[in-house]
A and B are shown apart, each in its own frame.
Chain A
Amino acid sequence: MVFTEAKRYFVERRIMERMAATSTLRFSDYFAHLRDETRGEVEQLINAFTVNETYFYREDHQLECLSKDLLRERASVKSPGDTIRIWSAPCSTGEEPYSIAIWLLENWAQVDAYNIEIVGSDIDTRVLEAAADGVFGKRALMRLSPELIGRYFHALDDERWQILDDLRLSVRYSRVNLIESRETRIEGKFDVIFCRNVLIYFDDESRRVAAENLYDSLLPGGYICLGHTESMSRISPLFDVCRFSDAIVYRRPQEKKP
């Protein structure tokens, strides 16, 4: 993440919040607290800086592209019963990985022919806990029809709905920093990666490193979807640009046969 002078207020506010939470009155004391690795404060500070605004079926033209084009192509190099791996990184509080699961159940006729594995990863451990809980408010569900909500959620009260256990337990969550290759590598290779609206927060060097890690996390011929204002062409020449009817996505090229 990169914070320019224009973000000074944003940074100051979060540090003040953490100083209050840790009962440290002076910045020098908080800094010492932060550097004491046994206290886990670095993780708490990182959590305070992440932006977790999202909702179900956000940018659903990419989900349309997933079921119409990307999975058709990935399935064409697999056999029925094979695993198709989809990575939502960052996954925030789970709206994206659960959206992918619901979308495929509703819109991909071959969903039962393959073993679909969905992994959600984020650097923020608080959101990962929330994602695993799978409890959402009205705003997160605003783009889902009442029928879909009725089919995949149960109401906890007037304001909160929890995703059904079958779906909730089908998504695996993990903490990953996209610019740490030793962390991304652990997750293995994916057929499709959704990496939306996070690279915009990185500086150029971190963006390049993240793009290389994402490239390594894709199977040859695998696809990556970025946010609608992001362009991989500006970050890395490693990927092919693929223009489908609903979205532009990027592909790790197939390995050349010797």
Chain B
Amino acid sequence: MPEATARHLPALLHDADPDVRLLACELVRTQPPIGAGQLLGDLLANEREANVCAAAIEVLAEAGGPELLPLLAQCAARFPDDPFLAFAVRIAGERLGAQR
């Protein structure tokens, strides 16, 4: 499954439809952690839909590492009026910051 999914993920994460990008974030969970962190880190840097960012952050809270903390902060700053995203970024930040 991880191998079969991997080749489709870059295109799905750049799909024009935000619902496709959102669901693709969940598929990234099947990937080895380093690859997952890279895929979703790239997405998070430029994503304009708050819901897609939230889906990516949920997966990154497990798959990502502390190196993604600045990216999470930048994402929260892009959506200053979205309290859920601020909450999701805070929780993810706590988890990533506490990683071994």
Task: Please give, as numbers and ranges, the residues of chain B lying within 8 Å of A242 by CB-CB distance.
Answer: 100
Q: Contact between A247 and B62 (Cβ–Cβ < 8 Å)?
A: no
The verdict on B2 contacting chain A, using a C-beta distance below 8 Å, is yes
Q: Given A61-B2, A228-B29, A229-B29, check contact A245 B61 (CB 8 Å).
A: no
Q: Contact between A229 and B62 (Cβ–Cβ < 8 Å)?
A: no
Within 8 A of B (CB), among A145-188: none
Q: Given A243-B62, A243-B63, A248-B63, check contact A231 B33 (CB 8 Å).
A: no
- Range for the number of chain B residues in contact with chain A: 10 to 19
Task: Please give, as numbers and ranges, the residues of chain A lying within 8 Å of B64 by CB-CB distance.
Answer: 243
Q: Contact between B62 and A231 (Cβ–Cβ < 8 Å)?
A: yes
Within 8 A of A (CB), among B77-100: 95, 99-100
Minimum CB–CB distance from A224 to chain B (whole Å) comes to: 13
Q: Contact between B32 and A247 (Cβ–Cβ < 8 Å)?
A: yes
Minimum CB–CB distance from B38 to chain A (whole Å) comes to: 13
Is chain A's binding surface mostly helix, strand, loop or mixed?
loop
Task: Please give, as numbers and ranges, the residues of chain B lying within 8 Å of A235 by CB-CB distance.
Answer: none
Task: Please give, as numbers and ranges, the residues of chain A lying within 8 Å of B51 by CB-CB distance.
Answer: none
Q: Contact between A243 and B2 (Cβ–Cβ < 8 Å)?
A: no
Minimum CB–CB distance from A74 to chain B (whole Å) comes to: 15
Cα-based distance from A231 to B32 in the complex (angstroms): 14
The verdict on A29 contacting chain B, using a C-beta distance below 8 Å, is no
Cα-based distance from A243 to B32 in the complex (angstroms): 9
Q: Given A61-B2, A241-B62, check contact A229 B26 (CB 8 Å).
A: yes
Minimum CB–CB distance from B67 to chain A (whole Å) comes to: 12
Jot down 8 A-B pairs with beta carbons below 8 A, ordered by A: A229-B29, A229-B30, A233-B61, A233-B62, A241-B95, A241-B99, A247-B32, A248-B33
The 7 closest A-B CB pairs, nearest first, are A228-B30, A243-B33, A241-B62, A248-B62, A248-B33, A233-B62, A246-B32
